[in-house]
Amino acid sequence: MNILVLGMGSNVSQGIVKALRGIKDIPIHIIGACISKSSVGLYMCDEAYISPFAADDSFIPWYLNICREKHIDITFTGVEANIDAFVRNREIIEKTVKTKFVYPEKEAWEIGYDKYKTCQWLKNNNIAFPDFALASDDKELSELILRVGFPLIAKPRSGKGSSGIIIAKTKKELMSIIGREDYVVQEYIGNIDSEYTVGCYYSRYGELQAQITLHRYLKNGGTSIAEIVNDDSINELIEKISNILKITGPLNIQIRKKKDGTPVCFEWNVRYSGTTAIRNHFGFCDVEAAIREYVFNENIDKCFHVATGGVAIRFDEEMYFENPSLESLYLEKSL
């Protein structure tokens, strides 16, 4: 089968490819695409192309064309801008090509894509949330400071990893984002060692099929060390969210614990995770589940045999090519 993976410069999309390589009983041809020729993930694929930016008017026509020409069975991506374009253009995509994509529900997507809306949703549904304010609302921000004090964490309402994040110990350190409508300011919960990421997969019927909880240690905004844990308080929080949120496919929930041990969801991502390959190794095979469920209409119970324990440690690595220059490398790959 032909699988298209978009955004191969993203560690999430690279993790998706690693998970695909682990599927032994389905012949898979991976076609990768990205906006840059220097995205190393392109060279992990069987075939590679350069794509337009997701925000460009040419992106959807390009996507429909490659799906037709390459007979793509299913598409994956770890890039939120791609998913946003798919959600907004779902009707025309589904009318034009038979390629599968696990679309999030529009409401769930809009809530998860905007960290301010995520906090509002949690608050409105009586689920533990970080106290918050819009950076553009002086009154709301001043009241937040009075309620919780410093430090505070300011982050783009839509964004990934640690990009644009400010941890402020004084109001002066917030000055660069005060007044900006694209920033939310949150109560700073716990510490860098109290963070958990929970991978959830919801079946096409909206049922929570499986979850895996990783206690993670961060480096440059990403997971450096991940340990599988089974925490009753986190399980209860995931159950509360799952009972209310209408969603299918992958959901990546980020949690920190307060000093008293209370878990708080501070954001979620309606997509695959940067720890997709780690989760796949430990038996949480949500990439394979999407293929079996949406392409082959199979039962997906066998895709989830989650280990009860395990640790993953990340490290840097390189990819080598015996070419005299980058330019000749690009030409040989026919990007």
- Whether 326 is covered by a domain: the verdict is no
Residue 201 to residue 209: CA distance in whole angstroms: 6
pLDDT of residue 220: 74
Around Cβ 72, how many Cβ atoms within 10 Å?
21
Q: Which helix (H) or strand (E) holds 76?
A: strand 74-77
pLDDT value for 273: 95
CA separation for the pair 94, 220 (Å, rounded): 38
Q: Which two tokens stand for residue 333?
A: 């790959």
**Quick one: 198 and 279 in the same domain?**
yes
Residues 142, 96, single domain; the answer is no
Structure token digits, residue 56: 């460009």
| Domain match, 202 and 292 both | yes
Statement to judge: residues 212 and 306 lie in one domain: yes
Question: φ, ψ for residue 225 (rounded to 5)?
Answer: -130, 135
Cα–Cα distance measured from residue 128 to residue 141, given in angstroms and rounded to the nearest whole number: 20
CATH code, 305: 3.30.470.20
Q: How far apart are CA 12 and CA 28, in angstroms?
A: 19
Range of the domain at 62: 2-101
Which stretches of the chain score pLDDT less than 70?
A: 160-162, 324, 326-335
The total number of structural domains in the chain stands at: 3
* Helix orientation angle between 80-88 and 106-113, rounded to the nearest 10 degrees: 150
Helix (H) or strand (E) holding 327, with range, is: helix 326-333
Query: Is the separation of the CB atoms in 284 and 199 below 8 Å?
Result: yes
Give CA–CA dist 83/81, Å, rounded.
5
Contact 197, 251 (CB under 8 A): no
Other CB atoms within 10 A of residue 281 CB: 16
